[in-house]
Amino acid sequence: MPKKPAPAKAEGNRHREAPFPEERERYLRHCAESGATPGSLCIKRNELIWIARLLPATASEGVDISVLNEIVRKRASMHTGVTTAYRMIVAARPWLRFLGWWREPAVTLPFQGNLDSYIKWMRDERGFTASTVGQWQSKTRQFLQWCVDSDRRLEDLQPDDIDVYFIQNASRWGRVSMRGVTGALRVYLRYAATQGLCDSRLATALRSPRVYTQESLPCAPGWTDVQRILATTETDKPADIRNRAILMLLSIYGMRRGEVVALRLDQVNWAGRTLHVFRLKRRQPQVYPLLPTVAEALARYIDTVRPKTSAPEIFLGLYAPQRPLTPQAVFDVVNDRFKALGINAKHCGPHALRHACAVRLIDQGLSFKEIGDHLGHQSASATMTYAKVDMRALREVGDFDLGDLSWN
């Protein structure tokens, strides 16, 4: 009797004999390099063999959801189980996206081409930040969808139509939100008028609601609350070690969450004790002194918690595959602590810590010019090639814990 092949050898043969072996192996290597565990890789390998056997030979030309649903149906007919379809979809889509074979469901919107051109204009010609482009895209999309739903053509719009849009949404918008929508639509309607898409009078007819200077205050937590938030990270848990460094960058340097997630390893000059931050609003780098407690928190995270990967970003997820954190993940880090500690503030995310930083600097006696520089606000000096904080002035207030996070 012929001997049965050893399990490992049989598994290897199964992998090599199934279709698309090179494409599967390349993806599995990518997963391993991203931190996938051996157990996870084994599951992926087995699922991909099934998927490869059921894929059409023309898969490289594109696979859409209808093809994937048919594959799932065929697999379910061979092997019943409530998790079979779910496991296959979870394994198939990331692999197909990695190969560039996945075809996202096409959602055809009457205004999509118009909106795409506007986004390109904002990004390439006006140089708006990704955050601004994303926010204005969302507000513009909602307005254009309203036009479609209410059977209004952009070229026929009158100022009265714009009034109707705001009246219908007034119940869910405050004055601050309404001002943001008004500003976004004014820019869009000016752009649309230059393209001959609407009447040029629409943009000038928009009027922002009056927002009083102090109406949104207080929106910053007190410095004692910032100390309480930082105190929650004084543990040996990997998440707390990472999050302590994030919270310090937000509250001490007043960094935006987008600036935190974009921070790279090569932006920390350990020898020179400086931190190079690319400020999103100025679209220019700034150089800060790397304060001792921040340096200690960053070093502890990088040395003991951060996965050993080729990713240049400092802050990564804790679980495989370890990808760079998203702005939403940074928001959750802060927001969860506000909720857990019962801190009552108008805003409970990273921007609240930025406000707390500004208030702390005011208390320390810095001028508004120095505070604006510290926070990376736009100013006349933003046209310089490099905008740098006044190192002496920052060091004078730098010990606010900068040396002493336990002050009362």
pLDDT for 382 = 29
Q: Where does the pLDDT of residue 218 fall: very low under 50, low under 70, confident under 90, or very high at 90 and above?
A: very low
Distances in Å between the Cα of 310 and the Cα atoms of 29, 60, 241, 306, 335 are: 14, 28, 21, 11, 30
Name, of 93-107, 172-186, 192-206, the range with top average pLDDT: 192-206
pLDDT for 9 = 53
Name, of 145-149, 182-186, 230-234, the range with top average pLDDT: 230-234
pLDDT for 37 = 80
Q: Report the top-level CATH class of 223-400.
A: mainly alpha
Is pLDDT of 402 > 80? no
pLDDT for 229 = 92
Is pLDDT of 143 > 60? yes
Residue bearing the bigger pLDDT, 89 or 266:
266
pLDDT for 189 = 92
Average pLDDT over residues 200-229: 69
Mean pLDDT of the chain: 79
350-383: pLDDT as tens digits? 888 887 887 777 666 655 566 666 666 554 332 2
Q: Where does the pLDDT of residue 319 fall: very low under 50, low under 70, confident under 90, or very high at 90 and above?
A: confident
pLDDT for 333 = 93
Percent above pLDDT 70 for the chain? 76
Do 7-99 and 112-205 come out as alike in CATH topology? yes
Average pLDDT over residues 173-201: 86
pLDDT for 313 = 93
Average pLDDT over residues 393-400: 41
Name, of 215-219, 294-298, 318-322, 348-352, the range with top average pLDDT: 294-298
Residue bearing the bigger pLDDT, 167 or 170:
167
Does this model's pTM top 0.85?
Answer: no
Identify the CA nearest to 243 among candidates 298, 173, 200. 298
Q: Sheet holding 284-289: strands in order across?
A: 268-269, 274-279, 284-289
pLDDT for 230 = 92
pLDDT for 357 = 80
Residue bearing the bigger pLDDT, 373 or 60:
60
Weakest-pLDDT range from 170-174, 257-261, 347-351, 394-398: 394-398
pLDDT for 282 = 58
Residue bearing the bigger pLDDT, 386 or 160:
160
Average pLDDT over residues 34-39: 79
* 7-99 belongs to CATH 1.10.1660: no
- The full set of domain ranges for the chain reads 7-99, 112-205, 223-400
Q: Where does the pLDDT of residue 252 fall: very low under 50, low under 70, confident under 90, or very high at 90 and above?
A: confident
Is pLDDT of 65 > 80? yes
- Considering the segment(s) 112-205 as one domain, its CATH architecture is Orthogonal Bundle (1.10)
Is pLDDT of 211 > 50? no
**Radius of gyration of the chain, Cα coordinates, nearest whole angstrom:** 27
Average pLDDT over residues 29-49: 84
